[in-house]
Amino acid sequence: MTKPKRICLVSVEIFAYGKYGGFGKATRTIGKELARRGYEVFAVVPRRLDQPPEEDLDGITVLSYLPGDVLKSGELYRKINADIYHSCEPSFGSYLARKSTPSAKHIFTIRDPRNAYDWYLEYKYPSQSKWQVVKNYLYETNFIVRSAVRRSDGVFSPARFMLPKIRNIYRLKQDPEFLPTPVIVPETVQKSPVPKVVMMSRIDPRKRPELYLSLAEKYPEVEFHIAGKSRVPAYEQKLREKYTSPNITYHGFVDQFTGSRHHDLMEASWVLVNTAVREGLPNSFLEAAAHQTAILSYVNPDNFASEYGYHAAKDDFEKGLDQLLSGDRWRMSAMEGYNYVKEVFALDKAMDQHEEVYHRLFR
């Protein structure tokens, strides 16, 4: 065999059934495009809400297991019998996939490597509860998982700044390879005639949405849009009750795989604002740049904020927004980001690189 025919994506989530994070978005996007290119594509994920044990999602055969039955998930990997098992983020499931199918190829894309300080921030700003953070740590970063990464057939990352960090966390002999996350780049965009900014993320404490919402009163001429929902409804409700400026629009959850609302928001916005205390390379940064939208952010992965917008390293979001809105500076920064993402992360180019990696394992 010179190239793989059957690929299994191993992930902690897929973008459906109440889990709408970056890992799941990347898993579903990659799987959908691989299926479109003629591969047999499977995904194995923990079961959420009313998710069935098996279904077809965008051409991906998605198999799920009850979180309490994770040890039995090895049966699913053996049943699939894939040529390549591609973990879209390390987890205990990755270890079980490798143990259950030792003759197959196993690779990892590490999208959000977390060292001790990162886990401290997760614990300080939990999305649901501190106990949930502890469980995530045990499932995603235990010594068995780190060993599985070291013994794999390839380790990759979608952001260059994370390469030495991953090498250190997982004690690799060399830096991982860069493998871009695919993103759709529209041929044309139509910007809003009035200043419009957007925050596109979960409404969780670690994202610090209050810093974004508090800007609205200071910029009555700017439309503030926030798209996303919280894992703790009471937390989101308090924000909605506190921040009631007439120029704020709460959109709730926006499904990026159904309808055009996500595209419409990104297309119209001048600036994407990210106030999170910690991030990898957010999909929203790539999507913003693809839609010719500047980036205003506290974090600065791969210099996306400093080169394609404003890096608010001191939480100086007001200063950053002033600069970007002054003299249409946001537009110049946005075009630089657009050119970079179009060249590196555009859907077909990024998927070509994924295919090259898969084929390389079989040459």
Per mean pLDDT, which range of 202-206, 258-262, 297-301, 359-363 is the poorest? 359-363
Q: What is the mean pLDDT of residues 215-234?
A: 94
Q: What is the mean pLDDT of residues 59-78?
A: 92
- CATH superfamily for 6-181+347-360 is Glycogen Phosphorylase B; (3.40.50.2000)
pLDDT higher than threshold 80 for residue 157: yes
Separation CA 296–CA 289 (nearest Å): 12
Tell me, yes or no, if the pTM score tops 0.85.
Answer: yes
pLDDT tens per residue, range 38-64: 999 999 999 988 889 999 999 999 999
Angle (CA) 208-209-211 rounded to 5° is: 80
* More reliable by pLDDT, 2 or 79: 79
Q: What is the mean pLDDT of residues 238-247?
A: 96
Cα–chain-centroid distance for residue 215? Answer: 25
Q: What is the mean pLDDT of residues 191-210?
A: 94
Return the pLDDT at 1.
52
Which of 3.30.1440.10, 3.40.50.2000, 1.10.260.40, 3.50.40.10 is the CATH number of 196-344? 3.40.50.2000
pLDDT tens per residue, range 286-305: 999 999 999 999 999 999 99
Q: What is the mean pLDDT of residues 307-311?
A: 98
Q: At what angle do helices 130-140 and 116-124 cross, to 10 degrees?
A: 150
Q: What is the mean pLDDT of residues 117-136?
A: 86
Q: What is the mean pLDDT of residues 204-212?
A: 94
pLDDT higher than threshold 90 for residue 309: yes
Return the pLDDT at 80.
96
Q: What is the mean pLDDT of residues 113-135?
A: 87
Q: What is the mean pLDDT of residues 208-235?
A: 95
What are the tokens at 192?
Answer: 């809003």
For CATH 3.40.50.2000, the residue range(s) in the chain are 6-181+347-360, 196-344
Separation CA 94–CA 12 (nearest Å): 10
Q: What is the mean pLDDT of residues 197-226?
A: 95
Number of residues written out for the chain? 363
- On whether the CB atoms of residues 106 and 85 are closer than 8 A, the answer is yes
pLDDT higher than threshold 90 for residue 141: no
Percentage of the chain exceeding pLDDT 70: 99
Work out the mean pLDDT of the chain and round it to a whole number. Answer: 93
pLDDT higher than threshold 80 for residue 319: yes
**DSSP alpha helices (H): ranges in the chain?**
22-36, 74-80, 92-100, 116-124, 130-140, 143-150, 163-170, 209-213, 233-242, 261-268, 283-290, 304-308, 317-325, 329-344, 347-360
